[in-house]
Amino acid sequence: MNGHEIIRIDSIKWWMTTLTNGSRHPVPLCPDHDLRLTPIRPRVYNSVQRGYVNGYSEDAVELKCAEGPHKIAIPRTFSDEKQYVVDRVDAEVFKGMKVLNLDDEATPIAKDKIKSKNGKHFLTSQLMESKRGLQAVIYAGKKGSPAKTQILITPEEKRLAFDQKDLHPTEVFLKIEATFDDGSKHSIEK
């Protein structure tokens, strides 16, 4: 957004301008005549004067185009609608951004690594604490090879899971079996 774009939202054209303090200020334009639209101040009841008076422009729910003139209704108050336009423009940017999910972040609390006698294969087991509970992660593979298998065991789900991006567990193991505290078992085998 370079400040010279026109965005169409709620059947109105919005010209996105930037104020000197850096904040963005959408200006409504008539979709047919490209004229700036003026908010029509709502009539509000004033209990002191016992009658209807003009309310604030920011509370307007109708905009006026000088050509005609004709009116265009907006689904929110003028002030909320302008914020909505800025939010919609930003949502387009946020949509394309990568998400760093700290909810799923797990902290390692114990780690153990074992090697085969000839040193060619390794197995690392790690105990992780996360918001979703305790989980065990097992990595196994050939030493020096970037390909490995990663098996995730979550006691709550009572099953073995693995990452599709890595080697399938059966490419490393003949059989893996997990036994949970309720006696149930889950295995992956060739």
**Residues of the shown chain interacting with Zn ion in the complex, contacts defined by CB under 5 A:** 30, 32-33, 65, 67
Is the CB of 62 or the CB of 163 nearer to Zn ion?
62
Least separation in angstroms between residue 161's CB and Zn ion is 59
Least separation in angstroms between residue 29's CB and Zn ion is 9
Residue 74 CA: distances (Å) to CA of 86, 107, 121, 163: 15, 49, 67, 49
Is the CB of 32 or the CB of 90 nearer to Zn ion?
32
Distance of alpha carbon 119 from alpha carbon 100, whole angstroms: 36
Least separation in angstroms between residue 34's CB and Zn ion is 8
Spell out the residues 6+ positions from residue 171 whose beta carbon is closer than 8 angstroms to its own: 149
Can you give the C-alpha Rg of the chain in angstroms? Answer: 31
Residue (of 189, 186, 146) closest to 170 by Cα position: 189
Least separation in angstroms between residue 6's CB and Zn ion is 15
Is the CB of 11 or the CB of 179 nearer to Zn ion?
11
Q: DSSP letters of 148-177?
A: EEEEEEETTTTEEEE-TTS--GGGT-SEEE
Least separation in angstroms between residue 63's CB and Zn ion is 10
Q: What are phi and psi of 58, to 5 degrees?
A: -65, -20
Least separation in angstroms between residue 65's CB and Zn ion is 3
In 10 A of CB 166, how many CB atoms? 18
Is the CB of 6 or the CB of 110 nearer to Zn ion?
6
Is the CB of 15 or the CB of 173 nearer to Zn ion?
15
Residue 76 CA: distances (Å) to CA of 28, 55, 59, 94, 172: 13, 15, 9, 23, 60
Is the CB of 12 or the CB of 151 nearer to Zn ion?
12
